[in-house]
Chains A and B, each alone.
Chain A
Amino acid sequence: QKEVEQNSGPLSVPEGAIASLNCTYSDRGSQSFFWYRQYSGKSPELIMSIYSNGDKEDGRFTAQLNKASQYVSLLIRDSQPSDSATYLCALIKAAGNKLTFGGGTRVLVKP
């Protein structure tokens, strides 16, 4: 089992709809979770971080964390064509201080 698993996609979403991305992880002691967005040919940029169970909202983005079920999700509301990118889930494992990344989910927002 991979340490951080994401569906590779592509996740096709109509413009204006909600894009829902999921990420599961294997290390139950993982402590900090991050979502990065990566445009084709560019480097990842941090869009959200979450540390406690529940929801965290930032603009059109909402991150959700459920440590008991070992998943973290990202919702993108009112999806725009500019949201088309690969979204990387990352975490810090227990007793660690470096990020472990999932393989990413490619999102396509169609006008």
Chain B
Amino acid sequence: DVKVTQSSRYLVKRTGEKVFLECVQDMDHENMFWYRQDPGLGLRLIYFSYDVKMKEKGDIPEGYSVSREKKERFSLILESASTNQTSMYLCASSLGGQLNYGYTFGSGTRLTVV
């Protein structure tokens, strides 16, 4: 089974801090994605990557950046955390060109910014 591992299950950070959320997958997937999920707003795509060192903006990239230096790892960075970034963050991966399988999600990181 594909495993997508997010480094932290719960995080509490202060306003203005730089925050790193890490995601690692172990099945050589080309595609990786970062979503946030909020009540009433559903899953919203922040950034995604189709290959190492490649990244593309999703629907809500403002206030975030990403890094993909290795194929298995995709990091989400909150440059200066704000309270409106309190959310559940979900990482996902999928095979390139094999969209029949959909995504595999990590267990999520619940981030609280105080």
Contacts of B101 in A (CB 8 A): 46, 49
Q: Is A97 an interface residue (CB 8 A)?
A: yes
Main secondary structure of the interface of B (DSSP, over half): mixed
Roughly how many angstroms separate A68 CA and B107 CA in the complex, as a whole number?
A: 36
Contacts of B106 in A (CB 8 A): 43
Q: Is A23 an interface residue (CB 8 A)?
A: no
The distance from the CB of A29 to the nearest CB of chain B, in whole angstroms, is 14
Contact with A along B7-40 (1 / 0, CB 8 A): 0000000000000000000000001010000001
A101-B42 CB under 8 A given contacts A43-B90, A43-B107, A43-B108 = yes
Q: Is A108 an interface residue (CB 8 A)?
A: no
Q: Is A34 an interface residue (CB 8 A)?
A: yes
Interface residues of B (CB under 8 A from A): 31, 33, 40-43, 45, 48, 50, 58, 90, 99-108
